Structure 1
Amino acid sequence: MDREVLATRPGAPVASSAGRVRRLGQALRQHKVIYLLLLPGMLYFLAFHYLPLAGVSIAFMDYSPFLGLSGSTWTGLDNFAKLFGDPEFAGTVRNTLIISFLQIAFAFPAPILLALLLNSLLSERVKRMVQTVVYLPHFLSWVIVIAVWQQVLGGAGAVADLFQQLGLGSVNIMANADTFKILLTSQVIWKDVGWGTIIFFAAISAIPVHLYESAAVDGAGPLRRIWHITLPGLLPVIVLLLILKLGDVLSVGFEQILLQQPSVGAEAAQVLDTFVYFRGVLGGDWGVGAAAGLLKGAIGTLMIVAANRIARRAGSEGLF
C-alpha cells in the first residue's frame, strides 16, 4: 500500500509516536554512559532553577511563610506598585546598571586581551607560568579575595602604611564610596580574567595555522595577523558570551557586594540582589523582594532575546 495512504490513516500518528519512543529508548541504551554523566547536571538545574519557579507567585501575594502559598492572599500588582514607589529602588537600579556597564566595558574584554597577549608569547614555558598564576584567583572565595584586598588597600593595609610613611596622610580605598564601583570591577578582573581566557584559548587553537603562515609570508606583522585572523576567528565566541553576559546584566555579584557594603554604605553599594536579600529575606517583605527578583529575570530574558536578534541580523549565528 502507498505510504501516503498509510500516513493519512488514524493510526499513523500513534505508530509514529511509538516509533519515536522506540528510537529514544534505543538512543538511551546506546549512549547510557553519556546520559548518566549528564544526570547530575540535569538534577541540579531541575532542583535549583526549575522547581523554584513555582515561587514566582509570591510576587503577586501578601506572602507569609507561616501561611504558605495556599494560605497567603493574592494582591495582584500591589507589590510592583510598592516596588516602583520605593525611593530606594531607583538608586538600587542605578547602582546595578553602572556596575554592570563597568563590568561589560572593562571586565568582559579583559580575558580576550589577555588571551591575545599570551598567544603572542614565543616561550611556551613563560606562557604556562603566566597562565597558572592568573588562573589561581578564580578558585578563591570572595571572602578570601576581599580579605586579601583589605590587607593591601584597606585602612590598615600596605598602601595606607606607605602613604603614612611618605607623609601623605591616611587612605582607605576599600571604604571610599566614590571609587567603590571601580573597585568592584577591578576585583572581578583580578579574580576571573585568567579563568575567562580558557574559552578564548580554545577558540584560538581552532584557527588554522596556515592562515598565520600565509599572512606572515605576505608581510603581515603581528598586529595585522591579530586584527585580520585571530579576532575574526574569536568573533563567534565573543558574540555568544556577550549575549549570555547581557542576559545576566542585572546580576553583579551578590557575595562580593554584600561583604563590602557595610564599609561604603547602602547608597553606593545597594544593588538588586542585595535589595532582594535585605527587603525580602531579612525584612520579611517577601512579596516586594519576589517582585524585584521577577523583574530582574524578565529584563534579563528580554536582553538575551534582543541581543540574539541583533546578532543574527548582523550576520552572526547568535545563541538560538
Structure 2
Amino acid sequence: MIIDLPSTSSSDVAKRMVDLRERHGAVTLGRVLTLVLVIDEEHAENAIASANHASHEHPCRIIAVIKGTSRGSTRLDAQIRVGGDAGASEVIVLRTFGPLTAHPVSVVVPLLLPDAPIVVWWPAEAPEVPAEDPVGTLAQRRITDAAACKRPSAALKDRMATYRPGDTDLAWTRLTLWRALLAAALDQPPFEEVTGARVVGGPENPSADLLAGWLSLTLRCPVTRTKASGVDGMLSVRLERPSGPIVIERPDDDVAILSTPGRVDRKVALPRRSPADCLAEELRRLDPDDVYGEVLASGLELQRETGKTTRTKVKR
C-alpha cells in the first residue's frame, strides 16, 4: 500500500502512521531499528530497494530523505509505503524543498521509533564529517560508500581524516568474502611467514586500497597496490611465501580461482556484493568496527610507507 501526502508535515505523517497501525494492523512495535537514508532523487529508488531487501533480515522503519530544489518556498511531500511495497519494513519517503532542504534533521526526528537504535546511510555522496552532520549525530552507526562517490579516492581520504567510532563504509564491507578466503588460505599448512603481497584492482577502487591497508596492518609485510586500468573492482591478491605464492584471482564477477603450492587450482564462489547484501551485513552490528578504524588510522599509511603503488593495464 502506498499513501501520498503532498504538502504535509512530519507530525501529520506520524499521525497517519499511528492511524495505519490501528486501522490496518501495520506493526511498528516489531521494528528493531530506524534506518535513515539521505539521498538525492537520482539514486533514491535503488537505495530504498536495497534497504527493503536488508529489512527482511532486520525489520525496521526506513526514512528516506530526498533533497529537492532549494529554490522556492518551504514544502514537504511525503509518501508512506507499507505491506508488499515495503518488504519487511515500513518506508517513509520525505521530499524536502526550499529552505527545508538545509534542515533534514527537523523532518526526521518526529518520525524516529522510540527507544530504537538509529542507523544513517548515505548511499552516494556523504557529508565531509558524517559524525558531525546533524542527521549523523542522531545515529549509533553511520554508513557511507566511497565507491559511489564521484571521486572515490578523495572520498576515502576524507574517511581517513574524519573517522569516528560508529563510522563504516560499504567499500570495506565488500571485502568480507575476500578477507575470509585469505584468512582460510593462510590457515592451511605450511604455516609460513608472508614476505610480501600484491593487491590488484581498479584505479579508483577504494576496496582494493582498504584491502592493501588491511594486509599491511595484519601481515606486517610490504604490500604493493597495483592500479589496473580496464577493471573497476577487485581483480586479484597474491601472497608471497617461501614455499610459493597463494593467489586469488577473480576473472569475472562471480567465481575466483585459488592457487596454492602443491595443490590443484580450485574455483571458489566470490561474487561481487550488492549494496543490499552489504547493508544487511552492516545492520547486524551496532558497535564500532574497530578493525575498519585501525585500517583507516594506520593500515593505509603503513602500506604507503612499506609497500608501493604501481599501474598496469588489463585486457579482457
What TM-score do the two structures reach when normalised by structure 1?
Answer: 0.22
Select the structure with the greater relative contact order (CA < 8 A; seq sep ≥ 6).
1
Larger strand percent: 2
Larger helix percent: 1
Look at both structures and tell me which one has the larger radius of gyration over its CA atoms: 1
